[in-house]
Structure 1
Amino acid sequence: MTTISWADSRRNRGLSDTCTLSTSTTHGWPVRCPSGCKRSQRLRRNLSPRARLSSEEAPAGAGGGATVTDPGYETLRYDVDGRVATITLNRPEVLNAINDPMRRELVAALRRSEADDGVWVVIITGAGRGFCSGADLRERPMERTRPAPQLSPERDAYPPVLREVTKPIIAAINGATRGAGCNIAFGCDFRVASESATFAVNFVERGLMGESAAYYLDRLVGRHRATEVALLGEVFSARDGQRWGFINAVVPPEDLLPAARDLAGRLCARAPLALRLTKKALDRGHFLTPQEYIAMQNAMTAQLRGTSDLGEAMRAFREKRPPQFEGR
């Protein structure tokens, strides 16, 4: 049997054997690999022109420093790198199927990120081959003879907590996403998916209604497509989701987290308080008349006028330099 080295394998795929893309980042932005490898070139081609910022334009604190991991979770990992918190669903042996402990910890982790002024952006991803394969039905049988599970504050808060958090949330979707996994992915603000990711809002196959995935789908893709996806419950690809307009980017599997971190870095270059109020405005706008929306807009603008970040933005504009926001 012929043994192929890691370097030979990379060369056979047209990649440099000295790729340093994983370490060639400044504040979370992938920069051109010093070895000029094709992987770094491909990643940058997948990004929009605005994403191809030079390292000089990267804001301080966006990421790329030492990562702090909290060991106090059983079903997920919580890591903070600069201004970016990454929540990793961590039950890879069942494709991150969600059970009650994971629901509780996900709600707690998201509320923790909201309360932490040092966190400006959140990424949610999955360990192993799946993002989230849905509810773990082995732990929560649904037979009619069994009593319905008693609701708890944590169960009731999932997944509305995704909209309770005012900071941008990016779903880095690495693989199979089914049922309750769609509740999570569709509730985020951005969705970056691996080419290998697949989706199904398959509640109807289990005798259940479409849950929060149906609520979000109607807002993401419109009633016509949402009806097809939620009532048929069939599997569709990341490319399908991108074509329908609710997947922001589809990238090769090895580029997924770099692409999500790049997006997080771009968001960290914006004024964080303005981002949070804009997210609120997007959520509330569906339920307001135009006059009510203008009243909300004026109140939010008045709130932002008193911030240091607005002054910094004006100075940076006059001085023709990137602003350095502080979130105050």
Structure 2
Amino acid sequence: MNPNLTLTTVERDSGIAFVTLNRPEQRNPLSLEAMRDVTKELRRLGGDDAVRVVVVGASGPVFSAGHDLKEMVGRTLEEERAIFDACVEMMQAVQEIPQPVIASVQGAAVAAGCQLVASCDLVVASSNAVFGTPGVKIGLFCSTPMVALSRAIGRKRAMQMLLTGQNIDADTAADWGLVNLVVPAEDLDAQTRELAEQIVAASPLTVRIGKQAFYHQIDLPQDQAYTAMAETMATNAITCDAQEGMQAFVNKRTPRWRGR
């Protein structure tokens, strides 16, 4: 068994794959090996047409305390670069795979753990969850988490978290746009699954097109974004699933998705 991370995918028959960080006694650290394993698993799931949604969660009371600091002490520059390059690759994999990725968060999600949450497409958080970028307190500014966090919650709020290192609670995270849903701790798994099932009900092709289009347009100037998305909608409209969906709506029946 991998000493840093166990990845488990379950209920593939329902179209949902669960990726679980499973080192609860160490607060689910994102070690170099763990990040490489997560990336490998995400890429593998991304190529599996039977998987419609990926849920990233964690065992134990904490989502993730971030990087494993023990492996970052006394290292060379090249070794440190390898750690952060692996982190960047993992975060990019979350958004590059075609399926939506939902973070299911309990307890603390801090530093790179907060970055992972901010990188996911959707987030369901337990009411006891907290989020933070405490690197400034130990002399290591959370510069890579800053990339995802500033894009999720904006400049001023991101700077507040980054410069103070103070955690925010789940309700604040929802108010700031980092979290979609805050639910009672005992309902976290059920509410995450319900959200995933709502996505599974849609055309898998349409969802893939939509996720790719979202990240393509989000940082473009408005005129370029409209040009690109008009073409995306036009090519989407002639797909079998779009034609089926529109015909089903007109005829007041349930669409039958073919994934093409």
TM, length-normalised to structure 2 = 0.90
Structure 1 partner of 2:203 = 271
Q: Output the CA distance in 1 between the equivalents of 2:252 and 2:3.
A: 45
Residue 264 of structure 1 deviates from its aligned partner by: 0.5
Identity of aligned residues (%): 33
What is the CA-CA distance between 1:160 and the residue it aligns to?
1.8
List per-residue Cα deviations over 1:245-303 (Å, max 9, x = no partner). 32111111111011011000111122222222222222222332333223322332243
**Match of residue 78 from structure 1:** 8
Q: Matched residues in 1 for 2:252 and 2:175: separation?
A: 37
RMSD: 2.1
> Contact 1:131/1:173 (CA < 8 Å) preserved in 2?
yes
**Any idea what the Cα deviations from partners look like across 1:142-180, whole Å, max 9, x if unmatched?**
x4xx41215277455132222222321110001111111
Find the partner of 2:149 among 208, 217, 224: 217
2:76 is aligned with 1:147: yes
1:310 equivalenced with 2:239 (yes/no): no
**In 2, Cα distance between the equivalents of 1:321 and 1:246?**
36
Asked if structure 1 preserves the Cα contact closer than 8 Å seen for 2:4 and 2:23, the reply is no
Q: How many pairs are equivalent?
A: 255
Residue identity in the other structure for 1:76: T
Q: What amino acid is the match of 2:152?
A: L
Deviation (angstroms), 1:73: 9.4
Maintained 8 Å contact 1:96/1:132:
yes
Letter in 2 for 1:102: A
Matches within 5 A, 1:201-212: 201-212=133-144
Q: Which amino acid aligns with 1:151?
A: A
Please identify the structure whose Cα radius of gyration is greater: 1
**Runs of 5+ unmatched residues, structure 2:** none
For 1:326 and 1:256, how far apart are their aligned partners in 2? Answer: 31
Between stretches 269-278 and 71-80, larger displacement belongs to 71-80
Partner AA of 2:55 in structure 1: I
C-alpha deviation, 1:77, in angstroms: 2.2
- 5+ residue gaps, structure 1: 1-70
Structure 1 or 2: more helix by fraction: 2
Question: Given residue 228 of structure 1, which amino acid in structure 2 is its aligned partner?
Answer: Q
Return closer, same or farther for 1:199/1:268 CA change in 2, 3 Å cut-off: same
Q: Any conservation in 2 of the 1:73–1:105 contact (CA below 8 Å)?
A: no
71-80 vs 128-137, greater mean Cα deviation: 71-80
How far off is 1:205 after superposition?
A: 1.6
Provide the TM-score with structure 1 as the length reference.
0.72
